[in-house]
Structure 1
Amino acid sequence: MQFKDQLDFVRQHIKKNKLRVFMTILAATMGTAFLIVLASVGFGIHDTMRSEILDNRMVNQIEVYAEKMDQAEVEELKKRDHIKAVVYRQSVSLQQKTGLDEFIGENGLIVTDFKEEKKVGFELKEGRLPENAGEIVVGSDFAESLFMEASTESEQEPVTYKGSLVGKQVTYKMGLYEEPEMFPEETIFTIVGIAKEPAKDWMQDYNMYADAAIIPTLNPIFEGHVDDENSQLLYGNVNVYADKLENVTTVSKALKDEGYSVYSIADQLEQMDVFFLAFKAGLVFVGTIAILIASIGIFNTMTMAVTERTREIGVMKALGASPKLIQRLFLMESAWIGIIGTLIAVVISYGVSFIANLVLPIIVTAALGEEEFGDLSVTFSIIPWQLVIIASAISLTVAMISGWRPARKATKIDVIQALRQEL
């Protein structure tokens, strides 16, 4: 019997029991769709968590902590293998006051090396990076932090700065927190750029960013007013950037071995990926139970098919059909049920996933309130092609196993007894 004839044989027998076969396919569809949709929740939550962690962060960034960090150690870090840049940002530890025309603010000054910042992509909304000690870049929310001096003591709503910032000069003073007066020395900065807004809407950047060349100007002011040996003008943190993502672990391990405390997004992602791998495997296992339940229907359908076709099987054997051919015909029928059920399940699953991602955020926002949920971008369901392959493989395997036992039973039917059976 040719393969085409085998397909026709299977198709004819399926048409004879349309309702029973339809209900069996429906059960297989529901089981497979349940597996895909359930597991897609794990993929969706995983993707959301990764996006939240990676948002506004660089995966090749390594935060380095040490009891004492200075410029000499930073220079040594730059000489290491697989390091693209070392950014040493230092913040002023004193009270600070800024002035621009008739507006005043209390903006913090961050001192950094813009040559290193440029290597890792310090993004600007407007202007350029500083090129000398007297130039600064201000944060994206710098203007909103400047208030008209007269309005600060008024009961009316404070007036903030509205004009252009690039090219403007800012006066900068420092002072002790316990003293009401600032140091008399005044430093003049020229704004040459405005930093790009932070990726997260709730984050605000009021800072000023100056090149490390300004430190010799600030140090004498600090030392002229503070005689405490334990006090420092600047305190900072170091971020090391690996040249490639695959080298992050190598660089991190080397730094740990030398006594540094390090933290990298890659380490966090690795731990999270292991957790979600186990979580998604658990969801697939639970979904597989639904397919196993559906397999009972396939088993019953195929068992009844063998019983109803006992005489037909006897005729086929009498005409010389081999047991392998008979077994193949019944396995093809169970496989057909599994394939059709899987295809329909995949289509339904994508539809359910689309609707869930469209409707659930609206429901959750209504339940929790826009303020609590508005800044959180959640993907409830994602169906990657790998999940479709896994679910399809499980569904087809279960369908074949369910049809194997009845198919084996068909090969063992006695020819004489089968031919004696009444039509």
Structure 2
Amino acid sequence: MQFKDQLNFVGQHIKKNKLRVFMTILAATMGTAFLIVLASVGFGVHDTMRNEILDNRLVNQIEIYGDGTEEINVEALKKREHVKAVVYRQSVGVRQESKLDNFSGSHELIITDFSEEEKVGFALQEGRLPQNEHEVVVGSHFADNLYEQSTKETDNEEPNPYKGSLIGKQFTYKMGLYDEPDLFPEETPLTIVGIAKEPAKDWEMDLKIYADAAIINTLEPIFRTHVEEEYSGLFYGNVTVYADNLENVTRVSQTLKDDGYAVYSIADQLEQIDVFFLAFKAGLVFVGTIAILIASIGIFNTMTMAVTERTREIGVMKALGASPKLIQRLFLMESAWIGIVGTIIAVAISYGVSFIANMLLPIIVTAALGEEEIGELNVTFSIIPWQLVLIASAISITVAMLSGWRPARKATKIDVIQALRQEL
């Protein structure tokens, strides 16, 4: 029997029992669609968490922790293999105040090496990076914490924040001890040459002042003039190493650990998250597979009835010389056809459900929680990658063929004489 004739044989039975075959395909479609949609939630949550971690941060950065910054040789770290840059940011551990014209506020001074910051792409929304000791970059919310002094001290009036342009403006910086009522009288003039890019998260505020490391030569003598006793907490900071690419993050991180450094990198966290979600998605696929197995019962029943109804026809084929393998192949083709058609429809339905879910769920959650800006969180509820489609299709078609294998084997064992004696 030619392949075309085999297809005709399968098609005739399908047309003869349209309703029963349709219901069987529907069951297979629902089971496969359930698997894909369920697993897509795992992919969506995984993608959302990865984006949340990577948002506004570099995947090739490695943070170093130690008992003291003196223990970390920054210059030696810069010479290590696969190290692109080493950023050493220091904070000032005293009370601080900034004053611009008649406006004043409290801002944290961050001292860094801009030559290293430039290597890793210090993001600016306006202006340029500092080129000398008294030039600074201010955070995107610097002006939000500058209030007019005439209204700042009045309880009955709302303080007026600074509204003007910042680029090119000069302000004074003062510091003092927390347990002292007055700040040190010395003022350090600083000129704003750049404004840092806004943080990716709306709830984050950048009120910092970013200054070149050379400003330490100005601030430390001022501090020592007013503090005679030993005070080691004036400057404290953290060191961040940037690998030249993502592939070398693990290697650089491991060599730092081997040298006794306590390190942390996003790559380590992503690796842990990927392992967790791999197990989570595998669990979802397993649960979805149960739905396909339930649908396989319908395929088994349909194929068993097909064998029973066509006993005489099978007997005639065997009498004409049809081999058991051919008969088995015919019924396996029929069960495979049910699985393939059900899978194709299920994939189309799954993409539609995924699209609707990603469009409507943010609106529903917004209405339920009463949060107007939740849509800006970029939460993805469902993602269907091609790998998931392949896995679901393979499971669905395999289960369909296995469901039809037992009835197909039964068809090959039908006795020719008894089959021919069966009444039409």
> Under a length normalisation based on structure 1, what TM-score does the superposition of the two structures give?
0.98
Q: Structure 1: how far apart are the matches of 2:211 and 2:7?
A: 77
Q: Which residue of 2 aligns with 1:8?
A: 8
Residue 313 (str. 1) matches residue 336 (str. 2): no
Residue 183 (str. 1) matches residue 184 (str. 2): yes
Q: Which residue of 2 aligns with 1:198?
A: 199
User: CA 1:262/1:71 → structure 2, altered by over 3 Å: closer, same or farther?
Assistant: closer
Q: Which amino acid aligns with 1:332?
A: M
SS class of match (1:202)? coil
Of 16-25 and 66-75, the range deviating more from structure 2: 66-75
| Structure 1 residues 401-416: aligned runs within 5 Å | 401-416=402-417
TM-fit CA distance, 1:374: 5.7
SS class of match (1:370)? coil
Unaligned runs of 5+ in 1: none
Q: Which residue of 2 aligns with 1:58?
A: 58
| Structure 1 residues 110-121: aligned runs within 5 Å | 110-121=110-121
Q: Structure 2: how far apart are the matches of 1:229 and 1:372?
A: 50
| Structure 1 residues 142-291: aligned runs within 5 Å | 142-154=142-154, 155-291=156-292
Q: Which amino acid aligns with 2:130?
A: P
SS class of match (2:7)? helix
Q: Structure 2: how far apart are the matches of 1:374 and 1:237?
A: 35
SS class of match (2:264)? strand
Q: Which amino acid aligns with 2:401?
A: M
Residue 94 (str. 1) matches residue 90 (str. 2): no
Q: Structure 1: how far apart are the matches of 2:399 and 2:333?
A: 13
Q: What are the Cα deviations for residues 16-60 of structure 1, in whole angstroms up to 9, with x where unaligned? A: 000000010011011111111111111111111111111111111
Q: Structure 2: how far apart are the matches of 1:342 and 1:364?
A: 31
TM-fit CA distance, 1:71: 9.1
Q: What are the Cα deviations for residues 195-214 of structure 1, in whole angstroms up to 9, with x where unaligned? A: 00001110011111011111
Q: Which amino acid aligns with 1:4?
A: K
Q: Structure 1: how far apart are the matches of 2:70 and 2:160?
A: 41
Q: Which residue of 2 aligns with 1:76?
A: 76
Q: Structure 2: how far apart are the matches of 1:239 and 1:169?
A: 30
Preserved CA contact (<8 Å) 1:202 1:375: no
Q: Which residue of 1 aligns with 2:419?
A: 418
SS class of match (2:69)? coil
| Structure 1 residues 346-385: aligned runs within 5 Å | 346-370=347-371, 373=374, 376-385=377-386
Q: Which amino acid aligns with 2:254?
A: K
Preserved CA contact (<8 Å) 1:302 1:330: yes
Unaligned runs of 5+ in 2: none
Q: Which amino acid aligns with 2:265?
A: S
Q: Structure 1: how far apart are the matches of 2:359 and 2:198?
A: 28
Q: Which residue of 2 aligns with 1:333?
A: 334
Q: What are the Cα deviations for residues 208-246 of structure 1, in whole angstroms up to 9, with x where unaligned? A: 101111111111101111123143321101111111111
Q: Structure 1: how far apart are the matches of 2:305 and 2:58?
A: 61
SS class of match (2:122)? coil
Q: Structure 2: how far apart are the matches of 1:358 and 1:194?
A: 36
SS class of match (2:191)? strand
Residue 122 (str. 1) matches residue 122 (str. 2): yes
SS class of match (1:59)? coil
TM-fit CA distance, 1:101: 1.1
Preserved CA contact (<8 Å) 2:93 2:235: yes
TM-fit CA distance, 1:79: 1.2
Q: Structure 1: how far apart are the matches of 2:101 and 2:294?
A: 76
TM-fit CA distance, 1:262: 0.8
Preserved CA contact (<8 Å) 1:109 1:207: yes
> Under a length normalisation based on structure 2, what TM-score does the superposition of the two structures give?
0.97
Q: Which amino acid aligns with 2:305?
A: M
Q: Structure 1: how far apart are the matches of 2:157 and 2:301?
A: 81
User: CA 1:372/1:161 → structure 2, altered by over 3 Å: closer, same or farther?
Assistant: closer
Preserved CA contact (<8 Å) 2:362 2:375: no
